[in-house]
Chain A
């Protein structure tokens, strides 16, 4: 970023650069001694995100040695917190770098604040888990990683802090890295959500590897914590996921206009698309995508838009509009992971209100399948969950709603439970399994109705998706042949052909059809430099130009990470 002091600073250039920035949210958790506040304070201070009056207000206060700033005071905002010297509630903090705007959900780490950790993780793209190098892996780090994974946070950045206290010793870092990787494996198995992790040795107090790479640890060749956070992909639902649009409001200013307002939960919608309204199952075609700034030809998650359809069908708030080819499941009986958040324990067969997207339905918990002991990852038999308890439950809804599994969709797979007497939010839930289904339902052999994405992936052995290759033609040939051998069904599209793919909207439409059919759209580009890359979902990987075998292996890894390769046996991968 150009700075004001540099003679070349131009605010017009700065604003243009700002338009290229995206938004990345990460959560942190920690308690008094593990240096979390110091780490956040360091990130804010070293990226020039704190103002002098804010620093002046805390100077000379706190518990650090004179002359040093106690960063915890910068972040602990409530009087009760300052009095007790601990973080109680989720605090949101903001900073930006030349590449990204960041939002930190800063949460307390103690078990009694599990619900705050879950709150912070629910919207996070990544979680920064802190481990005190001088103490090794404590239960608290495990809990934070578990909750992040349960809430579907894919990227876990493990900051091994206080390296200065152990003389920057590589061996201890490697040993913690090894132990915690094994734990993360078990966590991912338990939550059913994949985890990608990166380990960074840091000292928040000394500033090592937080913003700038440290010279104190030459054995570490990796990026600083901030560099890692700048390069991770956001875990938003992609534009190529199935289209989901919960209707928030019917907009009807006059008898000539009737539109359905909502925020696109996943996927893309284009004028002319056929959609289905759930739970009614009625179908229509999109004729306009209306915004204050003019109509759009196409819009993607997470934009807020208003859809106009070609025919009068009954649609109201709470309905889910989906792509006609890839429908959600309409269900009344669900299994879900639950984080209990209320002082009053869970009561089976009591009426709660379930809020899912833009609708609320009465629901009862019919059974507690198990309670998870986060410290040991053991499942225990249970009949209830208490405040901060985590477990899996069976749920019966008073009327059917259209849902997805949480691991497929973080919006249409999530819900909260509200106590109708106290109006408190008592639990957060993530749908793990769907037990019944209507005509739009699960893949049953011989069932009728439109094909679902699940039925297609069961048949093809993989999910639909895009594999974008910037590679010479002979390497693309090799990759295409290898995919065929391994049972992937790919449709090759040469993006550089003059027609029809020079028209982006047409290319997008073709790609969308291929993906909707559950196939792989293999888009090939001529590389414009020596850089040969493969891109899928939110992942990009560099391919080795001189080793086709390595390049092919990297493509397989990419397909796995992008969750296109779901059934590795069937797809022939090891």
Chain B
């Protein structure tokens, strides 16, 4: 076969082609890939489930699931791992979304850890996450015998996530071995697991934070009000804004102040800082995003308690 060497200066400049069908935007291409993944998993696994965290990524994933199986309903349930520290607005939004798309919603809480008063100040964030999120998730997957769980994680979020497969294999303890991942070529996914083993699936792997917001805008997907700026009571500590949702986060004699602010990513209220913002619409959020100098997880305490902490959590079974 011949090799054509093109001098770089004479490279053709693509010109628009007459047919209106020719151009597919990056969002259409990402959507088509995600739908393919959702259908593969639903067809190849016995008991799939979609982890629904109520955040923007989950909202996009839920819409993609509606699209993948239309006109049939979504053929798997949604699972929300409730740590007891989720914002009240998240819980009401969650119930409303599940009702409106007609999906079955399962909620799982690590009741014994919650009853024992587990919180990120009494423990450190890593152990708190370990009990309320990771342990609860593993218990729920085991209880319902789910063999595949969709998550909304994206590769652009964090360094160890950049190396995650779309089908992320987990052993019978739910753990991830980053050095022993299956090669994943083309769009051919190896769905074979032994009994007790499972996979986590990330249909949004190739989306960026900006893609997610643009898709929410284009598709008019509802998101929780906490993403939009308004006057909210916050504990103000230097640059950091801490929601007052849980009383125990307050220092002695600390008084909340009203701050025009919003949340950039949704987690548990004690560990999710807000940002000062005037962005009260999706276009305003997108425009704000273009000006950001920090990544979206910069305000998540759990990612920063030690070098490589996301990888450690993932090895233990975190999403």
Contacts and interface: CB of A to CB of B under 8 A. Distances in A.
Given A53-B293, A89-B163, 9 more contacts: A15-B217, A18-B25, A53-B295, A92-B155, A188-B1, A304-B36, A355-B188, A424-B190, A561-B4
Contacts, number: 284
Contact of A195 (B3, B161, B214): B3
Q: Nearest 4 pairs between A and B by C-beta?
A: A222-B8, A77-B159, A304-B35, A253-B72
Interface in A544-571: 557, 560-561
B123 to A, nearest CB: 23
B32 A304 contact: yes
B21 interface: yes
B137 to A, nearest CB: 22
Interface stretch (A132-140, A228-236, A370-378): A228-236
A2 to B, nearest CB: 10
B36 A248 contact: yes
Contact of B8 (A53, A228, A531): A228
Contacts of B217: 15
A557 B10 CA distance: 14
For the residues of A in contact with B, the DSSP-based class is mixed
Interface stretch (B37-45, B77-85, B249-257, B265-273): B37-45
A197 B11 CA distance: 11
A109 B31 CA distance: 31
B183 A194 contact: no
B23 interface: yes
Contact of A118 (B22, B69, B183, B311): B183
Contact of B69 (A4, A14, A261, A557): A261
Nearest to A232: B11
Interface residues of A, number: 122
Interface string A199-227: 11000000000000000000001110001
B53 to A, nearest CB: 21
B71 A290 contact: yes
Interface stretch (B141-149, B240-248, B282-290): B282-290
11 contacts: A51-B295, A188-B2, A191-B1, A193-B1, A197-B4, A198-B5, A232-B11, A263-B32, A292-B70, A303-B28, A416-B186
Contact of B188 (A15, A116, A189, A414): A414
A292 B190 CA distance: 28
Given A194-B1, A199-B8, A263-B35, A90 B290 contact: no
A365 interface: no
Interface stretch (A78-86, A397-405, A479-487): A78-86
B88 interface: no
A495 B2 CA distance: 33
Interface stretch (B110-118, B125-133, B174-182, B228-236): B174-182
A79 B178 CA distance: 10
Given A82-B308, A118-B185, A196-B3, A92 B205 contact: yes
Interface in A107-144: 115-116, 118-119, 122-123
Nearest to A155: B6
B23 to A, nearest CB: 7
A173 interface: no
B1 A468 contact: no
Contact of A200 (B8, B29, B36, B158): B8
B238 to A, nearest CB: 15
A51 B9 contact: no
B162 A77 contact: yes
Interface stretch (B12-20, B54-62, B91-99): B12-20
A361 B307 CA distance: 44
B66 interface: yes
Contacts of A53: 293-295, 298
A396 interface: no
Question: Among A9, A11, A14, A541, which residue has the most Cβ atoms of chain B within 10 A?
Answer: A11
